[in-house]
Chains A and B, each alone.
Chain A
Amino acid sequence: MTNGVAVELNDLTRVYGTVKALDGFTLHMAPGELVALLGPSGCGKTTALRILAGLDEATSGAVSVGGQDVSGVPANKRDMGMVFQAYSLFPHLTVLDNVAFGLKMRGKSKSERTSRAADMLDLVGLSAHKHKYASELSGGQQQRVALARALAIQPQVLLLDEPLSALDAKVRTQLRDEIRRVQLEVGTTTLFVTHDQEEALAVADRVGVMSQGKLEQLAAPADLYANPATPFVAEFVGLNNKVPAEVSGGRAQLLGTSVPALHGSIASGPGLAMVRPESVTVSPDPAGASTVSTVAFLGPISRVFCTMADGSVISAQMASPQARAFTPGASVSVGVEPTGVLVVKGERP
């Protein structure tokens, strides 16, 4: 089922002048796996991808693909398909010729090139546009052609460098799902770089969260979301409330409830628990110490912001019909679901 190969980035360091873009970065990808690298701007995720592509050189460390060390292999010999953040179709070629370009570089016959390029355009649903030029396509169509072009060469590894960031929200979601569908269909090992957590969580088999050139955590999306290993991951992935908590014996006491303290939490004493809005419960209570400050309607879900007795604000996420029960100024009691939380050192700002 899978055409992919294993990819290993071992202890990569990349220094630009005085800046360390990558600092001992290690990532192992299984054959056919889609790994998303997620992180804020400047965290080194694109540098890692470019080093894997051969478009940048690591200061130290090694890259191996399918068990072969490719560290010294130039980009054009690495056999990797890449989709760029910027539109990268060759403006002087038609869509079909763009998709066939990589095959031409590999010396394939014209009939083979045309047939394979047509298949790839079929895969991304753009067969009807094959004789158009890039300037005649929308942004989403251009990125789909770029995906077809990258896959046409049957690469060992597919590299996606924020391919959706130039697109509007609706096209973005559509193309995101399409990328995942196509990737599962062809089974190519894929590295997907993005700063959009929703994108990463939606498409990846595993998500690697990066900060300051290092991999903070690599885990399946659900695991990463539920069990963040570090305060950075907990803060970067998903929204969080920081709620004062007391830890002892592996459990955290907060909002009147005792919940498990996740691995990576402080051993004991007071700290701040990172609580997801969907883990916060709100119930109408005329005698409650908290009051509803605002209700934000977000379509199928809503967020209810409650001002606590100490003046701090906690947000709770719930289905919109359920949120209709709350109006600003109403007294409520706020609690927390008995799921694990990460408790870090610190005091409420």
Chain B
Amino acid sequence: MRRTTLGGKVFRAVLWVAFGLFFLFPLYAMADFSTRNLIAGGRTMAAWKNLVADEALYQAIVISLLLAVFTVVAMLLVLVPTMIWVRLRAPWAKGMVEFLCLLPLTIPALVIVVGLRNVYLWVTYFLGESALTLTFVYVVLVLPFAYRAIDAALSSIDLQTLAEAARSLGAGWPTTILRVVVPNIWSGILSAAFISIAVVLGEYTIASLSGYETLQVQIVQIGKTDGATSVAASLAVLLFGFVLLLILSLVTRGRRRVQGVTA
């Protein structure tokens, strides 16, 4: 019995190390490359300093982060009330909403860009040429991922009973959604938000084809002249996404633990 347990432990440790190396080695290589002084030898943080010092790159980082925030806020404002409403008042529309939300997955980015060109003529006419107008298309782009996360969270609670209980106790619809439903689907909302941020920070095709200078577009451009800075920016984005997913994992595990206690 003890031998099996020990064997199991060793096997698990080996797997951990193997997968850890597999995932961490490229990151290590990027960190190594981005801090190597290719001319004088030794180490330098010049590439990392460029992330802030290079005005164009810095602006691109700010724009990408703002895009991520705006996309998440807009996505949550559109999707959460809609999905709650559909489940409570229009269950017949669930299939249609699901289909519409998953549709962007099936359409290539290039087609989306071409399709959106006419729409964006109006968007830029009203809102100007800012890269932040990409928020609209990014909201559509993250719908499939966000929908799945929120849908799973909503399925795990008895939404109708909770909403009716809140209403019978005097809560209006906004209060019911914000104080009763949202706290109970918080893990799903966090998942949707983090995945959306990861999608926005990784999106290149649409931004590039639309001619906007987002972080990914800048990384590609810089990569043509300054490999180290380009790799530093890529690693920073990867680490940022990694930290987000780590937070997501910790938060949802904490919640599962609270909900898992039974009498």
Interface residues of A (CB under 8 A from B): 53-55, 74-82, 84, 86-92, 101-102, 105-106, 133, 135-138, 141, 146, 149-150, 153, 159
Contacts of B184 in A (CB 8 A): 90-92
Cα separation A80 to B171 with both chains bound (whole Å): 12
Contacts of A76 in B (CB 8 A): 167-172
Interchain CB contact (< 8 A) of B259 among A53, A78, A81, A135: A135
Q: Return B93 CB to nearest CB of chain A, in Å.
A: 17
User: Which one of B34-42, B120-128, B157-165, B217-225 contacts A?
Assistant: B157-165
Given contacts A88-B164, A101-B169, A105-B175, 17 further A-B contacts (CB under 8 A): A76-B167, A76-B168, A76-B171, A80-B168, A82-B168, A87-B158, A90-B184, A91-B184, A91-B259, A105-B170, A105-B171, A135-B261, A136-B261, A136-B263, A150-B168, A153-B169, A159-B168
Task: Judge whether B246 is part of the interface by a CB distance below 8 angstroms.
Answer: no
A-B pairs with beta carbons under 8 Å apart, 20 shown? A55-B164, A75-B164, A76-B168, A76-B171, A82-B168, A84-B161, A87-B158, A89-B165, A90-B166, A91-B259, A92-B184, A92-B186, A101-B171, A105-B170, A105-B171, A106-B170, A133-B261, A150-B168, A150-B169, A153-B170
Task: Judge whether B96 is part of the interface by a CB distance below 8 angstroms.
Answer: no
Task: Judge whether B180 is part of the interface by a CB distance below 8 angstroms.
Answer: yes
Contacts of A90 in B (CB 8 A): 162, 165-166, 180, 183-184
Interchain CB contact (< 8 A) of A102 among B158, B170, B262, B263: B170
Q: Which of B162, B164, B166, B184 has the most CB of A within 10 A?
A: B164
Cα separation A79 to B167 with both chains bound (whole Å): 10
Contacts of B6 in A (CB 8 A): none
Q: Return A57 CB to nearest CB of chain B, in Å.
A: 12
Task: Establish whether residues B167 and A88, one from each chain, have CB atoms under 8 Å apart when the complex forms.
Answer: no
Contacts of B260 in A (CB 8 A): 135
Q: Return A179 CB to nearest CB of chain B, in Å.
A: 17
Q: How many residues of B are in contact with the other chain, CB < 8 A?
A: 24
Contacts of B158 in A (CB 8 A): 86-88
Contacts of B162 in A (CB 8 A): 88, 90
Look across to chain A and name the residue whose beta carbon is closest to the beta carbon of B175. A105
Q: Lowest 6 CB-CB distances: which A-B pairs, in order? A: A105-B170, A102-B169, A88-B165, A82-B168, A92-B183, A75-B167
Task: Judge whether B258 is part of the interface by a CB distance below 8 angstroms.
Answer: yes
Q: Return B116 CB to nearest CB of chain A, in Å.
A: 39
Look across to chain B and name the residue whose beta carbon is closest to the beta carbon of A129. B263
- What 1/0 flags go to B147-165 for Cβ under 8 Å of A? 0000000000110011011
Contacts of B186 in A (CB 8 A): 92
Cα separation A80 to B169 with both chains bound (whole Å): 7
Task: Establish whether residues B165 and A82, one from each chain, have CB atoms under 8 Å apart when the complex forms.
Answer: yes
Task: Establish whether residues B157 and A91, one from each chain, have CB atoms under 8 Å apart when the complex forms.
Answer: yes
Look across to chain B and name the residue whose beta carbon is closest to the beta carbon of A92. B183
Cα separation A75 to B160 with both chains bound (whole Å): 14
Contacts of B261 in A (CB 8 A): 133, 135-136
Contacts of B166 in A (CB 8 A): 90, 101
Cα separation A56 to B240 with both chains bound (whole Å): 48
Contacts of A80 in B (CB 8 A): 168
Cα separation A81 to B158 with both chains bound (whole Å): 19
Look across to chain A and name the residue whose beta carbon is closest to the beta carbon of B164. A55
Contacts of B175 in A (CB 8 A): 105
Known A53-B168, A75-B168, A76-B167; judge A138-B263 contact (CB<8 A): yes
Interchain CB contact (< 8 A) of A149 among B157, B161, B169, B262: B169
Contacts of A87 in B (CB 8 A): 158, 161
Cα separation A138 to B161 with both chains bound (whole Å): 18
Cα separation A181 to B180 with both chains bound (whole Å): 30
Contacts of A88 in B (CB 8 A): 158, 161-162, 164-165
- What 1/0 flags go to B48-73 for Cβ under 8 Å of A? 00000000000000000000000000
Task: Establish whether residues A137 and B164, one from each chain, have CB atoms under 8 Å apart when the complex forms.
Answer: no
Q: Which of B158, B258, B263 has the most CB of A within 10 A?
A: B263
Contacts of A75 in B (CB 8 A): 164, 167-168
Q: Return B160 CB to nearest CB of chain A, in Å.
A: 9
Cα separation A141 to B263 with both chains bound (whole Å): 10
Q: Return A80 CB to nearest CB of chain B, in Å.
A: 6
Contacts of A105 in B (CB 8 A): 169-171, 175
Contacts of A92 in B (CB 8 A): 183-184, 186
- What 1/0 flags go to B174-203 for Cβ under 8 Å of A? 010000100110100000000000000000
Contacts of A101 in B (CB 8 A): 166, 169, 171
